[in-house]
Each structure stands twice: as structure tokens, then as C-alpha cells.
Amino acid sequence: MAATAMDQPTGASYVKRRRRGELIGVGLGLLVLIAGAIWMLLPLVWMLSASLMPLSEVIKVPPIWFAPDKYSLKNYIEVWGRVGFARFFLNSVFVAFTITFAQLLTSSMAGFAFARYQFPGRSVIFILILSTMMIPFQVIMIPLFIMMARLGFVNTYWGMIIPAIVTPFGIFMMRQFMLGVPKPLLEAARIDGASEPYIFSRIMLPLCKPAIAALAIFAFLGSWDNFLWPLIVINSKQLWTLPIAMSRFTEQYISQTHLQMAGASIMFIPVLIVFLLMQRHFIEGIALSGLKG
Amino acid sequence: MASQAAAFPGKRGWSPQARREAMWAYAFLGPAFFFLFVLILFPILFAFWISLHDWSLIPRDFPLIGLKNYIEAAGDSLTVKSLRNTLVYTVGAVPVSMALSLILALIMNQDKLPFRTGFRTAYFIPVITSWVAVSFVWVWMFEPRFGLVNSFLGLFGITGIKWLASPFWALPAIMIVAIWKGLGYNMVIFLAGLQGIPRELHEAAKIDGANRWQGFWHITFPLLNPTIVFITVTAVIGSLQVFTPAVIMTTVQGEAGGPINSTRVMVYHIYSTAFRYNRLGYGAALAFLLFALILVITLVQLRLTQREVEYS
């Protein structure tokens, strides 16, 4: 860098001016960021606060959004018990975990095949998989429903899980990541007599932890948030997931805001906790999926 | 790689090693490919077949009606309205979200900024929050009498916007929620893109007497192009498929898309046509219409934004 030499002619006052400019930039930036952060968090803080208050307090004008003396867990107890969220929560968890596991398995195996082996049809199959990434779910949801109906999977857990078993995005992501794993590591294992399944599960997978974590997060959140497909394929109450149960609030518990906020918080809090614990993986996962692609 | 490529001896048959490799490859690929075929590839063809029929949920013989569903879509005022709403929503939400998230990322990218991780966490929390939960919260944010939005606007003397009850404001209200929810995601990607720009370039420009604005316009912006393209394309695709907030925030007595269809978006229109009005054939045709729209817009975007920038 020739930077130090070039600073010479303008002298110390120039440096000072620039430093002041930077400080003003940081100061103004901080103000913008704080205002933005308030906008980001206020609705969720209000949700948590309203979930702890009786309806009479929630609908006060002007809005109260912080009143610790009015707080109780009554709304949660009612939503969890009488409204039946305990069951819906377990349904959501079960479906999300199953889908996550299935997607991890299919994606990492397929990614391994592309990253490790040369085989006839390799690029054709890969392009085919890539091109399915462009298909919007809305195009296939109608035939999928008819297929699920023929197979007797409508209104079952299977009906919710099967369409999400495989994801072209996951395959693509695992392939990209596995291509970055040094080949000599795998070759060394093979020379030592390790079988291919062993190389896959004991050597490759442990090296792919960041990609697996990212994909697991996407799969879980995708399922946790999925509203459209369960709406189509599920109708009996025992199988409702949380999004479906929440949407029924617009019919059965209309204007019961305190209960709605407790329900929304039940969806929100577990995800928030996992996010705060594993934040690095979330952010890395976004970068991984967005930029290496 | 060269040694592996040589393992294919051409037409004279495979070496044992190449055969073994191919066998393992197909074994590992098998499950994913099977499900991909059954759950995506076959359904696309099936969907097209359905769209050529007057298909319904009740099993009977479905008459083949050719392209009639597609022709009907062109003249159906509800379809045209849904398309219009979807486009307005996308054109309204995406540019604002892009601009805001880029500004935030530029601020966050400053060297001396304190609490960077804290801010990133705050902006990312809406991203991980479920759409259904978010929609309920914002219904109450937008409540004309009790809601925080109108009490906030009241501070500036703006009163009486009915938001979700107003045919004019309902769609913008949903856009605001979408911008709010997507900001952190776009910001994180922009930030990663910004951090990939070599620092020396900016320093060199400063020495040459460039100010901040010139530095942004001539260095940051061109070099950020791949990131901008990526975010725009994915954001537009996502916006054209908006569903959950447009349904949850506008459902009144079991019917969504109101008031007066002002928030009826394409995906809800498809869902409603197929599964509420039992017209699977027409619904499938509408889905292909949406697909075509997504495809065309994406290709146009890629065409317009593709320019190679190399500063080595």
C-alpha cells in the first residue's frame, strides 16, 4: 500500500477532518439503526406483553404495552389447555423434525454422490435437479393433493410429511459444500480400506457440520411456518399444526386478541430461544445459501 | 480429476473402478432422485394434464377441454384483479425493502460501529418469526382504534387510516409487514456482499480524492452487483408467491382477500379456486399462469442486470 506516502501532502488537518467525518457517519448511523431496531422489535415486544394481559387491558386506548403488575400466564394456560395448543404444538414439532431429518438424509446423500463420484448422466441429472428449484410449489400442489388422495394420505401425518421429503435446494447446498472438502481426506480413508458408506457417514458428514446445521434450520423453519400445504391436506383437528390452529383464531376466537397473542407467542418463543443459542449458524447459513450458490 | 475422467474408457466398457464408482453414485442418489421424480417432476406433467380438464375433487370422468381454462383466465375479472394485486404488492414491497436493507447494511459495515452483533440480532428476529404469528401481531398493530401504528401516526397528526378495513390501504399494510419481516434477511446478505469487497479499492479511491458518494457509486455499487441481483431475483420470486399474510390479515368470516378483493393475491386465488370452489383444472391453469409470470419476470431481471464487473 502506498497510502501512508500519499497522505503526506494533505497533512494532519486532513486526517483529522476525515476522522471527524467518520465519527459523524457512525453517530448518524447509530441513530438510524436504533430507530430501525425499535421498529423491528416493538411489534414482538407488544405481542409478548399482550399475551400476558387480560383482554380488557389489551384493548385500552392509548395502547399499554408494558404493565408488569397486570401480567399473568392465564392466557397461555387457556390456549395450551382449553384451545388445545398442546396437541397442535406436538404435531408441529413432530412434522418439522421428521421433515428435517428426511431432508438432511436425502440431500446429504445426493450431494455426496455429485461431489465424490464421476458417473454417466452426472451433469444431466444435476441440471435437472437445479431446474426443479424454479418450480413454484403452487404448480405442483394440486396434483400432489390428488396423488395423496389416491394413496389415502389426505388428512394424515404422511400427507403433511411426504411432499417435503426432498428439496432440490438442499441437494444443491450439500453438493456445493462437499465439493469444498479436500479429496485426499476421503482417498486416504479409502486406501485404509474404509467402505463408501463409512466414508460418507464417518468422514464426510462430520466435515459438513456448518452446511448440515444451515439446512436443518431452513428445513425446520420452513415446516414450522408452512401454512398453505397443511391447510390443503389436513382437516381433522387432531392433526392441526400451529399455523392451522392459529388461522382458526380468525373464526372461532375472533377479537380474542389476548389469546391470539398467547398463541403467536407459543409459535415464537421456542424458535427465538433456538435462534439466540445458535445465532452464528443461522447467519452463516444465510451467507452459505446466498453467496456460494 | 483427470485420472477419474480417464476411468471412463469410452465405448469399450468400464473399468472395474469406474463401474464401482457409478454403482455407489446411483445408490447415494437413488432416494433423492426417486422422491424428486415422484414429488416434483411427475406432478409438473400431471398438473399440465389437469389444467386441460374440467377436473374436480369428486371422482368422475373429467372432460378434456383443451385450453379453455387458460382462455377463461384471460377474461376472468377476478383473476386479472389477483394478478394486478400481486404485481402491485411486488413492485411496492421489493424496491423499498432493497433500498432500506442496503442502507442498513452500509451503516453496519462501518469500521467503528459499536454493538454490531446486537443490531444484527434485533433485525434478524422478525426473519425467524413465523408468518402466521407475525400476521396476527400486525393485525393488531394496524387496528384503527387500539393499534400502535395509528397511535404512532397520531403523534404527527395523521389520523383515521383504516388500514386492513380500507380497500386502498389494506395491500400497502401487508407490504409494510413484508418489508419489516424481510429486512434483516436482505441486510445480512448485503453485509456479506459488502464484506467481500476488497478494502484496498476504497482506500485507493480516497487517496485519489473520491468522496464517500463517489466511492459508493463507482466501487461499492458495481461490485455489489451479484448480491443485488441475487436479492432482487429471490425477493421478487418470493413476493409473487405471497400467501400467508395476505390470507391471515384479511380473513373476515372465513373469506380472505378483502376488502372488495383488494388483497386477493394469486396464490390465494389459486388455492380458493381449486380447493374451495372445487375447480382443480382451472386452479392448475392459474398456477401455470403464475409460473409463467415468475419465469418471465426473472428472465427479464437477469437480462437487465447482467453485467460482468471485474476489478482485479
Looking at beta carbons, which residues of chain B come within 8 Å of A283?
120, 124, 188
Both A141 and A44 in one domain: the answer is no
Nearest-angstrom CA–CA distance, B298 and B294 = 6
Domain segments of chain B as ranges: 2-51, 70-305
Name which residue leads in pLDDT, B102 or A11. B102
Would you say how long chain B is, in residues?
Answer: 312
Contact status, residue B286 vs residue A131, Cβ threshold 8 Å? no
Both A86 and A202 in one domain: the answer is yes
Reply yes or no on whether the pLDDT at A106 is more than 90.
yes
Both A23 and A164 in one domain: the answer is no
**Chain A residue with the nearest C-alpha to that of B289:** A139
Residue A247 and residue B192: Cβ atoms within 8 Å?
Answer: no
Both A27 and A97 in one domain: the answer is no
| pLDDT, position A290 | 58
Residue A171 and residue B32: Cβ atoms within 8 Å?
Answer: yes
| pLDDT, position A55 | 85
Looking at beta carbons, which residues of chain A come within 8 Å of B133?
47, 246, 263-265, 267-268
Q: Which residues of chain B have pLDDT under 70?
A: 1-13, 307-312
Nearest-angstrom CA–CA distance, B284 and A143 = 8
- Beta bridge partners of residue B64, listed in sequence order: B53
| pLDDT, position B13 | 67
Q: What is the CATH number of domain B70-305?
A: 1.10.3720.10
| pLDDT, position A172 | 92
| pLDDT, position A158 | 96
Stated pTM of the model: 0.89
| pLDDT, position A156 | 95
Contacts of B298 (CB under 8 A, 6+ apart): A134, B233, B236, B237
The single-letter code of the amino acid at B300 is: V
**Cell of residue B250, nine digits:** 384479511
Name which residue leads in pLDDT, B177 or A133. B177
Reply yes or no on whether the pLDDT at A258 is more than 70.
yes
User: Domain boundary residue among A25, A46, A72?
Assistant: A72
Residue B12 Cα, gap to closest chain A Cα (Å): 14
Both A125 and A254 in one domain: the answer is yes
Reply yes or no on whether the pLDDT at A36 is more than 80.
yes
> In this predicted complex, what is the ipTM?
0.88
Residue A166 and residue B183: Cβ atoms within 8 Å?
Answer: no
Judge whether B296 is closer than 8 Å to chain A, CB to CB: no
Q: What is the mean pLDDT of residues A14-27?
A: 76
Looking at beta carbons, which residues of chain A come within 8 Å of B119?
33, 37
Q: What percentage of chain A has pLDDT greater than the value 70?
A: 91
Name which residue leads in pLDDT, B210 or A289. B210
Both A60 and A38 in one domain: the answer is yes
B78-84 — which CB contacts under 8 Å span 24+ positions?
B78/B261, B78/B264, B78/B269, B79/B269, B79/B286, B79/B289, B81/B261, B81/B264, B82/B257, B82/B261, B82/B264, B82/B265, B82/B266, B82/B268, B82/B269, B83/B266, B83/B289, B83/B293
Both A138 and A272 in one domain: the answer is yes
Judge whether B255 is closer than 8 Å to chain A, CB to CB: no
| pLDDT, position B124 | 92
Nearest-angstrom CA–CA distance, B203 and B215 = 9
Both A87 and A62 in one domain: the answer is no
pLDDT averaged over chain A?
A: 87
| pLDDT, position B160 | 79
Cα→Cα distances A254→A60, A248, A257, A258, A260, Å:
17, 9, 8, 11, 9
Contacts of B107 (CB under 8 A, 6+ apart): A29, A32, A33, B113
Both A57 and A88 in one domain: the answer is no
Within 59-88 of B, beta carbons closer than 8 Å to A belong to none
Which residue segment(s) compose the domain that A216 sits in?
77-291
* Cβ-nearest to A243 among B42, B125, B130: B130
Both A18 and A61 in one domain: the answer is yes
Residue B21 and residue A117: Cβ atoms within 8 Å?
Answer: yes
Looking at beta carbons, which residues of chain B come within 8 Å of A22?
110-112
Q: What is the mean pLDDT of residues A54-82?
A: 81
Name which residue leads in pLDDT, A159 or A280. A159
**Cell of residue A8, nine digits:** 503526506
> Domain containing A229 — which CATH number?
1.10.3720.10
| pLDDT, position B150 | 87
Count of domains in chain A? 2
Both A93 and A57 in one domain: the answer is no
- Mutate: best of B20, B26, B34, B107, partner A, most A CBs <10 A: B107
Reply yes or no on whether the pLDDT at A5 is more than 60.
no
Both A234 and A282 in one domain: the answer is yes
Residue B241 and residue A136: Cβ atoms within 8 Å?
Answer: yes
- CA-nearest of A177, A269, A276 to A224 is A269
Judge whether B152 is closer than 8 Å to chain A, CB to CB: no
**Cell of residue A41, nine digits:** 422489535
